[in-house]
Each structure stands twice: as structure tokens, then as C-alpha cells.
Structure 1
Amino acid sequence: MTRTGESAMHAPWTFTQAPVTSRRGFFWVTGDRVAGPDGSRLDSPMYVEWESPVNARPVPVVLVHGGGGQGTDWLATPDGRPGWAGYLVQDRWTVFVVDRPGHGRSPRPDAATAPVPPLEGAAAIFAPGTDEVHTQWPGPGGAGDPAVAQLAAGFTGLPRDLAAAQALEGARLAELLAQTGPAVLITHSAGAPAGWLAADARPDLVKAIVAIEPVGPPFVRIPEAGLSLDWGLTAAPLTYDPPATSAGDLDPRRPRALPRLANLPVAVVEADASPLAAACRPVAEHLNGAGVAAQHLRLAEHGVHGNGHGMMVELNNREVLDVVTGWLDTALAGDDQR
């Protein structure tokens, strides 16, 4: 691949970000207690890492990772540069980074999961190494790329029961919002359903959603990948109007309203060199057809080119984030973000 502005790969532990005065820590969204023969246990707690700068903006950001990844996807890039979490703190946003249940530091021992994707599978999605248009991946691409290995090292298998997993993730995210107060959700890929479900459960606590190449298109079914979005955007139930008592009530040709998301600003972000970009337009159209004010945000139309599905970890990740936060500044204009 030919790249613009490529530099030598940093060691993964080397950070070039300017120092920021902040407070940071972590906690758990502990979830429900489940009684057992020898006492009670916590049902699938969710790990949350947070950082808040001096003079923080009033609305925080919650970062929700995709697929089989984890919260570290937002903390730094595979070649050791700053990730979106650090840049957002630098720009005075308080940031909450989650590990969805069953991923990263959020244990879910009772969840049956599919095998961890091979390096070849990770490379096919994030850095195939054969696409001359994809210029922003920080390495040569392919299964032998050290940057692909750094990203894939944190992968876990996808859940076999997708509907149950998404319902749990949406519930934990809603519980987190009850603690943080109204926040912006930035989701990636297969983390998007947790965002839709959390907003459906607590629309009063979501100020906006930025969906980075969300899983789709709506109602897609790919049995061999364990993917079935029976409720349009999700595998778990959403609130529609007219009401749907089961997914079988829904007809993709006759859109129903999503009333609990109706007043929510949404951006669906698409990169110009991603193998998964094709789902973005149908997701945005489905949302708009359901009465949601969704904007299809194409990076290429903002002068940002060469990105794949993992745009938040690529060479120009700061430029991509600037497009996102520029949209947020407009979407949150009614909230004092100074």
C-alpha cells in the first residue's frame, strides 16, 4: 500500500501525546446479583475506565468498542500513537471507556462464544494490505503485520447468542448512563447495537450518538457469521411505533417509527476505503425513515481520505476525530460546551 505521511512505527508503549492535567480511575457497573447454592454472584459486570480533564466540558463521552475488541481500542493505536480517548481529554471532554460484557476486563464466564478470529480474519477487516486506496493503516497490512497483531491481541470471540449479548450490553450501558448523567455515545461497528438499545432504554440520558461504521445493513442475516439483526438495527428488541410484539411483526419495506430515538442527533460515519462501509447508507436511511434525525457523515466529503474500518487507530486518527467532534459541536450547540 502507498501511504501519505507515514513515519517509522513507534514502539507500542511510546506515547507522543502532549501532557494533560486530569483525574482518572476505573469502576464497575456491577449489574444484578444472582443467587446460587453457595451465595450470590454478580451477573456480567462491565469494566469502565474514565478520565476527566481540568475545566471539562459539561457533557461527557462514552466510547463503546466494536466486534471482539475491547476498550483499549480507544486508548492508543497499534503503533503507539495517542488514541481517541486521549485526544478527547486533551480537547476537554470527560471520557468513559467501557469493555462490553464478555470482552476485555469484563468477565462473563457463562457466555458461550465463538472462537477468536484468526489474524487473517482481523487483517481482512482492518488491513488487508492489498488496497491502494486504503493508505492510512499504520503498517504493511496482512496477517504478518505487527500492527495487526497489536490490534488482534485483545480480541475475544463473538457471542453465540447475539440477541442476549446485545440486550445485556444495552442494559449495562444504560446503567452506566444513570451514573454519568446525560452523555454522548460513540460506538464502533458491532458495538453500535448497545448504543441503540441504551438510547431506547434511557433516551433522557443520551445527548447524541456517533456510530462509526455500525453493523448492518438493517435486518441483515448472515448465519455463518452469527449475525442476524432481526429488529432492524439490533438482534435484541427495540421500541417501535406501531408496537412490535416480536421481530416477525416488522417488515423492512414498511418502516416503523423509533419514537424513543426520535429527538436524538445521530451521525453515521463512513470511511472511503473500508470493506464494511456499504452498511452506512442503509443504516442512516433506516433511521431517517424511522423518524430519527440521522446524518450520513462521509469522511471523504470532509477531505479525509484513505481510511478503513479501524479509522480510530489509523495514521490520521486525529483528523477523523476532528470531523466527529466538529459534528458534535453543532449537534450539542444548545448545550454549553465551552
Structure 2
Amino acid sequence: MSTLPPFIASQPATSMRRGFFWIPGDLVETDSGTRQRGAMYVEWLAGAEVTKPVPLILIHGGGGQGTDWLGTPDGRPGWAQQFVEAGYLVYVVDRPGFGRSPYDEELLGKSQPSMSSETASFLFAPQEAEEKHVQWPWGRAPGSRELEQLVAGQSFLFSDREFSQDLDARRLVELLDITGRAALITHSAGAPAGWLALNRRSDSVAGIVAVEPMAPPFADIRGNELKWGLTSAPVVTDQAGNDGGQEQSRLRDGSARIAGFAGAPMLLLAGDASGFGRGTQIQAAEFLRAQGADVEALNLAGCGIEGNGHGLILEKNSNETVAPVLQWLDSTL
């Protein structure tokens, strides 16, 4: 790892076009005038020539932001640049209320406390996994430089997860109206937005790569109850219009199918040293296959990439962890 500041560290020069725009929020009449609720910031990146036919939309996890895809805690280029160099047009979003997408408590509701260093360590660099989790080469305790680089970009989760996920999905659908058919690449708690966007606009979603998605189905993950399988927000099923409670029960017993999932290509990617565990990803894959999706569940160790945890997009071998994703995209899209 270089000890030089990122802006003078030895990195290859690259040529890239980039810009940004906004998906405006809902217009709300308030005592202070007309205000926007839940705008979404979108940054686009492309090389001198785009050679791949389907663009990619990158959706960050938890309390993070789009910068999670742009670089690593030690200052190296992130997955977004790898996709651009492979010929893709890439859109990186800040989910509504996160990063450069403004958060307004009056319009978006209360949030939970911002992420602590201890929580970040639990998720991304657990002490008990140190022996196996060799691709996180930095400190694991609060105060470690790279850990605190990661924490600095993290904020909070909405108290109302159902509302937050629904808002994410609505903005993604509006983005798909602009981009046209695209593939979604999600990480961690950003996964529900991808599942919901597929449910609502399946003809515009070419496929989903879910990196360490929230799972297993119907679990309560630190207060995030996945009441609809892999989402907290409701999905439309093949029995649309029925009572919501009945549809949740039908999804649990396997007698309902989520609209838009049949035949949808999906890659579920997990690290072999992740605290989320291989079992949760297997259960998620089984649930999605039961919905008719075309699912490949890949643990990185299965292709010779070992020692990665939940933050595999950020770890020291991020140039290796993206390789199976690029291969899947090329063969699938």
C-alpha cells in the first residue's frame, strides 16, 4: 500500500468523460414554498468510446454513497473505472437522502444515528475474521486510517426502511426512463432498490448483479425487516390486488411469484470471509430461483479469489473481485 496521498500516489493516467444530473424529487407544498422530496444525484462516466451495448447503474449500500464505487479507502480507482475501461457507460447514483442527494428530515422522516466506527468494523472488518479476511489489509479498530476513510463517507439509514426503499425504486425507474435498458449493480442494503426496480420496470432491467445483498429472505437484519422476501417495501406479485398480508404469506410458502422476475438474469456475488456468510447468499439464490429468475450464485473462492469480506468492492484486490462480474456481464448481456 502506498503511503503517499492519493492525489500524488502512483496511479496510471486515464482518459474519461464524466458529468452529472439530477432526478428531481416529488414537489411538496410547504409553508416555506414548493420543495423537493427525495431528489437523486446521478453521475455518469464513459471512456472516449462506449463499446458495450448496455449501460450499468451502480447502487451503493447502507449509509454509503456513490463514491463507494469511485475509489477505495487507500486511494485506488474503484469498480466504476474498471467498468468504464471495459467499454461501459456507467451511471453512479447517490440514493435519495444520501451523499449528494439532499436529506431533509421534515420531508423524508427521521433517520437513525450515523454509522459509528464500531459498526463499520463489525460490517467491513470484523476482528474475529482477521485470520481469514486477508484482503482487508488495514486496521480494524476505530481510529485506523483506512477504516475512518470508509466511515467518513457513511451517514445513516432511514428509520422508515419501507419508505426509503420505495423512494429508491421510484427514482431508479425514472432514471431507467432516461438511460433506457440497463443492468443494475447493487451492494449490500442497496439491493432492495434493484429488486424493486426490476419488479416495477422489468422490460428496462437487462440484469442484476447483487454484491453481498441483504439476506436471507424474510430476515430481520438489525432492524431492517425483509417482509417481502428480499425487500421491506411491497412488491407486486402474480396475484396483484390481494391483501398485502396474504401476499406476504404466499411469498413465504412459495405459492406467489414476484412480477418481472421470471427469466431475469442475476448474479449474486459473495466473499468467502464475509460476516454475512455463504449460507445467507445460498438462501437468497434459492428464493430468487423460486421466483423464476435465472440466478448464478458465486462465492469468490469458487474462482480462486480468497480472503474477501462484505466490502469486497473496496478491498486491496478490488481489481480481481470485479473480474467475475465483467465476465458475467459480457456473457449475459
Both structures adopt the same fold (TM-score exceeding 0.5): yes
**Which of 117, 120, 123 is the matching residue for 1:119?**
117
> Deviations along 1:300-336, whole A, 9 cap, x unmatched?
111111000000010110111011110111111xxxx
Alignment-derived partner of residue 284 in structure 2 = 283
- Unpaired runs of 5+ residues, structure 2, are none
**2:8 & 2:80 partners in 1: Cα distance?**
16
**2:255 & 2:270 partners in 1: Cα distance?**
23
Read off the aligned partner of 1:49 and give its amino acid letter: E
Taking structure 2 as the reference length, the TM-score comes to 0.93
Read off the aligned partner of 2:37 and give its amino acid letter: D
Task: Give, in angstroms, the shift of residue 150 of structure 1.
Answer: 0.3
- Map 1:1-338 onto structure 2 (within 5 A): 7-14=1-8, 16-56=10-50, 57-110=52-105, 111-130=109-128, 131-222=130-221, 225-243=222-240, 244-251=242-249, 252-277=252-277, 278-332=279-333
Task: Give, in angstroms, the shift of residue 255 of structure 1.
Answer: 4.5
Contact 1:16–1:81 at 8 Å: present in 2 too?
Answer: no
Task: Give, in angstroms, the shift of residue 39 of structure 1.
Answer: 2.9
Q: How many residues align?
A: 324
**1:261 & 1:158 partners in 2: Cα distance?**
27
Read off the aligned partner of 2:46 and give its amino acid letter: S
> Deviations along 1:113-166, whole A, 9 cap, x unmatched?
000121011011101244211000141322232111001101111110000110
Contact 2:247–2:256 at 8 Å: present in 1 too?
Answer: no
Change (3 A) 1:14 1:311: farther
Read off the aligned partner of 1:245 and give its amino acid letter: D
RMSD of aligned C-alpha atoms? 1.6
**1:10 & 1:295 partners in 2: Cα distance?**
40
Read off the aligned partner of 1:21 and give its amino acid letter: S
Contact 1:189–1:212 at 8 Å: present in 2 too?
Answer: yes
Task: Give, in angstroms, the shift of residue 35 of structure 1.
Answer: 2.0
Contact 1:237–1:247 at 8 Å: present in 2 too?
Answer: no
Tell me the secondary structure at the aligned position of residue 313 of structure 1.
coil
Tell me the secondary structure at the aligned position of residue 322 of structure 2.
helix
**2:144 & 2:209 partners in 1: Cα distance?**
29
Contact 2:121–2:147 at 8 Å: present in 1 too?
Answer: yes
Contact 1:162–1:226 at 8 Å: present in 2 too?
Answer: no
Change (3 A) 1:14 1:132: farther
**2:246 & 2:10 partners in 1: Cα distance?**
51
Taking structure 1 as the reference length, the TM-score comes to 0.91
Q: Which moved more, 1:254-263 or 1:73-82?
A: 254-263
Read off the aligned partner of 2:43 and give its amino acid letter: E
Task: Give, in angstroms, the shift of residue 170 of structure 1.
Answer: 0.5
Change (3 A) 1:206 1:17: farther
Contact 2:126–2:275 at 8 Å: present in 1 too?
Answer: no
Task: Give, in angstroms, the shift of residue 15 of structure 1.
Answer: 5.6
